[in-house]
Structure 1
Amino acid sequence: MAEERRSHLVVFTGSGISAESGIQTFRASDGLWADHPIEAVATPEAWRRDPRRVLEFYNTRRAQVRRARPNAAHKALAELEKRGFRVSIITQNIDDLHERAGSRNVLHLHGEILKARSTVDARMQYRLPRGGIELGDICDKGSQLRPDVVWFGESVPHFAEACEIVGEADLLLVVGTSLAVMPAASLLDHAPMEAPCVLVDPEAERLSPPGVARICQTAGKGVPQLVRHWQREGRLWMPETLAG
């Protein structure tokens, strides 16, 4: 394989890529989050106040994730990896759509909804191939299980690892995120100065920071279009004709 093809593509994905698979974002005006304020279901305080409500919410959200299917953007990124490109994905999403599409190098910044974890030891994690979490479901140390997700107000345990990955990027592709959620939004600051960065999002014109190229399209259109260019050329590059 040509050395150019081994250039490192780091992809940072947000809720916009999963929304095209039918998974509601918490900013959406309808769907699961509409009747559940963030502070009522996605904070440590909510868990202490009403764990049953939190578990019921995430059980419903988990069922939605299981019904969803990877879309064209997920599949295009996985295909790029299969063709021999070096691809690392850092995602804010708690679903497993990247993995189901075939991507192997995926880091979940905010946890994984298809896992449970102990409330006394975050290292004790349990896969949930079916069903959900109920009150009374306990870890091996006898403590209640909770969703393996990072709630608002909690630290992001894999952030340092994500910074290291971004620091090795030859090209940074940002897909479907408002770049508004910290600390994840600061990941771009860790990219090498010489590494081009492109944002694919319908609102890219408004969202992109200075120096970031823009593709004002949905993930399902913009990502496969980029991938086709890279596959045809056998290398990573930023086609100026695609910039929005």
Structure 2
Amino acid sequence: MTESLAASIATLQEMIQDARIVAGFTGAGISTESGVPDFRSPNSPWMRNKPIPFEHFVQSAQARREAWRRKFVMDDLYHEAQPSQGHLGIASLVASGRMPAVITQNIDGLHQASGLSEEQVIELHGNGTYAKCLSCGRRHEINWVRRHFEASGEPPECINCGGILKSATISFGQAMPEEPMRRAQKLVASCDLCLVVGSSLVVYPAAAFPAFAKGNGAQLVIVNREPTPLDEMADLVIHAEIGAVLSAFVS
């Protein structure tokens, strides 16, 4: 570890120690260190298995078949992924009481796998580890969906109402989930430190939350390997491997 990185981590530790409420905000970078591919890296497998737009999914049975096929291809690429040092660092901050919850753009469930409860993870883009009925909202486990799909070649219908089942993620063209958006807004409005980890901060409306926190008087810290559009307004920017930074907080 370089002296400059060690000094930045020490500064971050002091900022967190002095903060009353820390709002965590995570993006794909925290999970790439677990082996989960992101959308924007060159040759990303997501570019070969792009999510089907919501409108097409709802209107076309063929689109639904293709959407599930692509999803299971992607699931197989990272089904053995485990929480990274970044996830464990966030979990430790939540356990300390300084961070009430973490807002995440990720859909991989690794924050929950790190020990956080459902209430401690605010998922802006949903969760790909289970499916939900678009009509009644009933949850269906993804392994059950896959067994049915691979046996019949057709996606199953909701066992409760016969409605369309979809991975519990937010697809392109689908409305953002109201309750997570409300919870995220409440958290960033109350925090005095917003800690952004592994987000490029280019996907909106999610990326608006750190900017709102800063505009509301909170300090803003960005930990990311690459520069982001909000670096200039941040109080501290650390361009480094996320695990190398957040491992300092793992208890």
Report TM bin, short chain. 0.7 to 0.9
From 175, 193, 206, the equivalent of 1:155 is 175
Q: How does 1:6-155 map to 2 (within 5 A)?
A: 7-36=20-49, 38=50, 41-47=51-57, 48-49=59-60, 50-104=63-117, 105-121=120-136, 123-128=137-142, 132=146, 134=149, 135-139=154-158, 140-155=160-175
Asked whether the equivalents of residues 6 and 84 of structure 1 are also in contact (C-alpha less than 8 Å), the reply is no
**Matches of 2:105 and 2:185 in 1, distance apart?**
14
Please list every run of 5 or more consecutive structure 2 residues that lacks an aligned counterpart in the other structure: 1-16
TM-score, normalisation: structure 1 = 0.80
TM-score by length of 2: 0.78
After superposition, the CA RMSD in angstroms is 2.3
Maintained 8 Å contact 1:65/1:95:
no
State the partner residue of 1:240. Answer: none
Aligned counterpart, 1:164: 186
Distance in structure 1 (CA, Å) of the matches to 2:134 and 2:221: 38
Distance change (3 Å), C-alpha of 1:75 and 1:129: farther
2:219 to 192, 196, 213: 196
Q: Give 1 or 2: higher helix fraction.
A: 2
Residue 86 of structure 1 aligns to a residue in which SS? coil
Cα distance in structure 2, aligned partners of 1:111 and 1:130: 19
Which stretches of structure 1, 4 residues or longer, exceed 4 Å deviation after superposition?
none
Do the aligned residues in 1 keep the contact of 2:85 with 2:243 (CA within 8 Å)?
yes
For the 8 Å contact 1:119–1:145, the answer to whether it is kept is yes
Amino acid at match of 2:204: M
Q: CA deviation at 1:153?
A: 1.4
The change in CA–CA distance for 1:131 and 1:67 in structure 2 (over 3 A counts) is farther
Distance in 1 (alpha carbons) for counterparts of 2:225 and 2:39: 17
Between the aligned partners of 1:6 and 1:219, the Cα distance in structure 2 is: 21
Q: Percent identity?
A: 28
C-alpha separation between the residues in 1 aligned to 2:194 and 2:105? 15
SS in 2 for 1:12: strand
Q: Is 1:175 the counterpart of 2:197 in the alignment? A: yes
Per the alignment, residue 223 of structure 1 pairs with 246
Instruction: Give the paired residue count.
Output: 220
Q: Counterpart amino acid of 1:8?
A: I
CA offsets, 1:79-138, max 9 Å, x none? 2333443341010000111111112311111111111011323x3222336663722411
Q: Indicate how the Cα distance of structure 1 residues 11 and 62 shifts in structure 2: closer, same or farther if over 3 A, else same.
A: same
Instruction: Find the aligned partners of 1:164 and 1:103 in 2 and give their Cα distance.
Output: 19
Equivalent residue of 1:11, what SS? strand
